[in-house]
């Protein structure tokens, strides 16, 4: 029996195409990433032009930040770099049930209420299901149009006819092109569908939001080239059973990639948290050993978090070490520094470290707070509840300077903290510190003397 198409192999990471299976991808050098797909070749070729093919001098092009479109959420606008850029292709990924569709539906509500014509296209829900979800959020404007469709050709014709100010695609794994025989969500379908949506966005200067499912490793399903094609990649993080969500920009051609936005999940949808430091410290115990407040930077925003440590004598020959919210190897490294430089033997003790609130922290400024929390729990001596700590710790036990120390101290002062333990090299550069005591330390021994 004659085949209706030809079999090709695609790399899931970079989208490299080959006529035969290979163990190592020649494009990205990844191992075992080739998948087999059946591609129908009917001779149909679609050619589009994003913009004018005539070259233009860069000084003749006009562009400014005033053209950005606000989402109605200052937290999301900050992550996007000040708002939505017309013609941008934005990918939103996250775990199932984390709130991706809820957030984008609220963004559609805000933008349509501001007079923008929005088109919400869903390939996973019917119109009645979307309406049921929208009823919990409140009243919507007639400027928001809904479409339940999975065919990309139909979606393209509707966008051309309606000419909306913004489009939401929920989700890219359900959209398919009819001239490609593989199933929706496959490498070729996701790649070609994203390429078509990119051409629609750039050619008509329409911002397009794309919802992407994630794999068990936490990355967007489909070829890795998907993240290279879009302008912005946002990840919605947080435990689905927790009250808050964090949206983080991991790629942004129009702004910083270090910014985060904090939201709280409620019955009527997501509500932005304008003061995440106060939110993270709510319910903090008073005068408890092993509890230390640290100040971290997420982009341009300082955030205060509580670091908790518990040191207890082990009942087994091998001590147990557990870390939640920070790197496990970092905790082991800092415990080794404490043993070597302070003479405190922790080899017979279990160690449990937790970042309260569920945040995941990798910043080096957390080191000194971890060290002081471990020592506080070991000696069973609490640190003053009005004291904040930040600094990087080296292998020699020295405390090194961290960036943006001024913003960290100002955030602590605003929330009522009275003392700040900082690297000594940073004390001379701090200004306007009336009302908060600065304690400069050169090494972990001087920091332990505070306890």
Both 309 and 178 in one domain: the answer is no
**Is residue 244 domain-shared with residue 268, that is, in the same domain?**
yes
Question: Residues annotated in the binding site, as ranges?
Answer: 94-101
User: Quick one: 253 and 283 in the same domain?
Assistant: no
Q: What pLDDT score does 40 carry?
A: 60
Confidence of residue 5 (pLDDT cuts 50, 70, 90): low
Q: Which of 254, 274, 294 is the last residue of a domain?
A: 274
* Residue 53, domain member (yes or no): no
Q: Which residue, 246, 206, 170, is CA-closest to 89?
A: 206
Which of 39-53, 140-154, 223-237, 312-326 has the highest average model confidence (pLDDT)? 140-154
Is residue 445 in some structural domain? yes
Q: Is residue 44 part of a domain?
A: no
157: phi then psi, degrees, rounded to nearest 5: -65, -35
Structure confidence at residue 197 as a pLDDT band (50, 70, 90): very high
Distance of CA 327 to the CA centre of its chain: 17
Q: Is 60 domain-assigned?
A: no
Binding residues for ATP are 94-101
Res 263: pLDDT: 92
CATH number of 159's domain? 3.40.50.300
Domain membership of residue 45 (yes or no) is no
* pLDDT above 80 for 108: yes
Q: What is the pLDDT of residues 364-401, one digit of tens each?
A: 999 999 999 999 999 999 999 899 999 999 999 999 99
- Looking at residue 45, its pLDDT comes to 45
How many folded domains does the chain comprise?
Answer: 3
pLDDT at 405: 92
* Residue 127 is assigned to a structural domain of this protein: yes
Is residue 33 domain-shared with residue 157, that is, in the same domain?
A: no
CA distance 12 to 285: 47
Confidence band (pLDDT; 50, 70, 90) for 2? very low
Q: Which of 15-19, 110-114, 135-139, 364-368 has the lowest average pLDDT?
A: 15-19
pLDDT above 60 (res 49): no
Same domain, 297 and 414: yes
Task: Look up the pTM and report it.
Answer: 0.79
Question: Quick one: 23 and 89 in the same domain?
Answer: no
Query: What is the model's pLDDT at position 417?
Result: 93
Instruction: Give the range among 88-102, 222-236, 374-388, 409-423 with minimum mean pLDDT.
Output: 222-236
Give percent of the chain above pLDDT 70: 93
Range of the domain at 300: 279-450
pLDDT at 43 over 60: no
CB 357 within 8 A of CB 280: yes
Least confident of 30-44, 112-126, 424-438: 30-44
Question: Quick one: pLDDT at residue 276?
Answer: 86
At 127, list the tokens: 């119109």
pLDDT at 365: 95
Are residues 83 and 229 part of one domain?
A: yes
Q: Which residues, at least 6 apart from 256, have a Cβ–Cβ distance to it below 8 Å?
A: 81, 249, 299, 300
Does residue 287 share a domain with residue 243? Answer: no
Categorize the per-residue pLDDT at 1 as very low, low, confident or very high, splitting at 50, 70 and 90. Answer: very low
Mean pLDDT, residues 281-292 = 88
Q: Which of 206, 241, 274 is the last residue of a domain?
A: 274
Q: Is the pLDDT assigned to residue 92 strictly greater than 70?
A: yes
Mean pLDDT of 61-74: 83
Both 12 and 154 in one domain: the answer is no
Compare 259 and 350 and report the one with higher pLDDT.
350
Query: Is residue 51 domain-resident?
Result: no
For 10, 44, 258, the CA distances from 7, given in Å and listed in that order, are 10, 18, 42
Confidence label for 70 from pLDDT (cuts 50, 70 and 90): very high
CA angle 296, 247, 233 (to 5 degrees): 115
CATH code of the domain in which 290 resides: 3.30.230.10
What does the pLDDT average to over 174-202?
Answer: 87
pLDDT on residue 11: 83
pLDDT exceeds cutoff 80 at 66: no
Average of per-residue pLDDT across 102-108: 95
Model confidence at 240, pLDDT cuts 50, 70, 90, reads low
User: Are residues 402 and 261 part of one domain?
Assistant: no
273 with 357: CB under 8 angstroms? Answer: no
Domain shared by 112 and 146, yes or no: yes
- Which of 274, 298, 326 finishes a domain? 274
Q: Per-residue pLDDT for 44 more than 60? A: no
Residues 137 and 165 both lie in one domain: yes
* Long-range pairs, 43-51, Cβ under 8 A, ≥24: 44/179, 46/179, 48/196, 48/199, 48/203, 49/203, 50/198, 50/199, 50/202, 50/203, 51/202, 51/203
Question: What is the rounded average pLDDT of the residues 168-187?
Answer: 86
Of 90-99, 239-248, 362-371, highest mean pLDDT: 362-371
For residues 49-74, give the mean pLDDT.
Answer: 78
212 located within any domain: yes
Mean pLDDT of the chain: 87
What's the pLDDT score for residue 50?
Answer: 52
Predicted confidence (pLDDT) per residue in 127-155, tens digit: 999 999 999 998 999 999 999 999 999 99
Q: Predicted confidence band at 16 (pLDDT cuts at 50, 70, 90)? A: confident
């Amino acid at each position: 029996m004659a085949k209706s198409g030809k079999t090709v192999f695609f790399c899931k990471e970079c989208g490299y195409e080959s006529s035969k299976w290979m163990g190592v991808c020649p494009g990205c050098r990844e191992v075992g990433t080739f998948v087999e797909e059946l591609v129908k070749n009917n001779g149909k070729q679609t050619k589009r032009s994003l913009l004018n093919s005539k070259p233009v001098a860069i000084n003749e092009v006009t562009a400014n930040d005033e053209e950005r479109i606000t989402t109605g959420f200052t937290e999301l606008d900050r992550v996007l770099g000040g708002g939505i850029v017309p013609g941008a292709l934005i990918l939103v990924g996250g775990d199932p049930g984390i709130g991706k569709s809820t957030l984008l539906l609220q963004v559609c509500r805000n933008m349509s209420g501001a007079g923008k014509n929005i088109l919400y296209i869903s390939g996973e829900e019917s119109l009645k299901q979307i309406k049921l979800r929208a009823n919990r959020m409140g009243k919507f404007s007639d400027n928001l149009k809904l479409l339940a469709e999975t065919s990309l050709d139909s979606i393209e014709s509707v966008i051309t006819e309606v000419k909306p100010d913004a489009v939401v695609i929920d989700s890219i794994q359900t959209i398919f092109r009819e001239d490609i025989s593989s199933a929706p969500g496959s490498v070729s379908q996701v790649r070609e569908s994203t390429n078509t949506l990119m051409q629609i966005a750039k050619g008509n200067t329409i911002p397009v939001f794309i919802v992407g499912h994630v794999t068990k490793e936490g990355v967007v399903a489909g070829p890795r080239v998907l993240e290279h094609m879009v302008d912005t990649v946002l990840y919605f993080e947080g435990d689905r059973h927790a009250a808050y969500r964090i949206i983080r920009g991991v790629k942004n051609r129009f702004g910083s990639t270090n910014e985060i936005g904090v939201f709280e999940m409620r019955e009527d949808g997501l509500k932005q948290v304008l003061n995440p430091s106060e939110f993270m410290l709510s319910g903090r115990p008073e005068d408890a050993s092993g509890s230390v407040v640290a100040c971290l930077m997420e982009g341009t925003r300082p955030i205060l978090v509580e670091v908790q440590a518990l040191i207890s004598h082990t009942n087994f020959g091998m001590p147990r070490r557990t870390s939640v919210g920070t790197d496990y190897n970092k905790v082991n490294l800092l415990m080794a520094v404490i043993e070597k430089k302070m003479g405190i033997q922790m080899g017979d003790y279990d160690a449990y470290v937790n970042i309260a609130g569920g945040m995941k922290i990798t910043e080096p400024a957390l080191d000194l707070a971890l060290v002081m929390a471990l020592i506080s729990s070991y000696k069973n001596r609490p640190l003053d509840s009005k004291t904040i700590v930040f600094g990087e710790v080296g292998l020699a036990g020295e405390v090194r300077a961290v960036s943006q120390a001024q913003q960290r101290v100002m955030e602590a002062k605003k929330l009522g903290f009275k003392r700040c333990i900082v690297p000594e090299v940073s004390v001379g550069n701090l200004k306007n510190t009336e009302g908060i005591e600065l304690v400069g330390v050169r090494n972990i021994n001087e920091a332990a003397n505070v306890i």
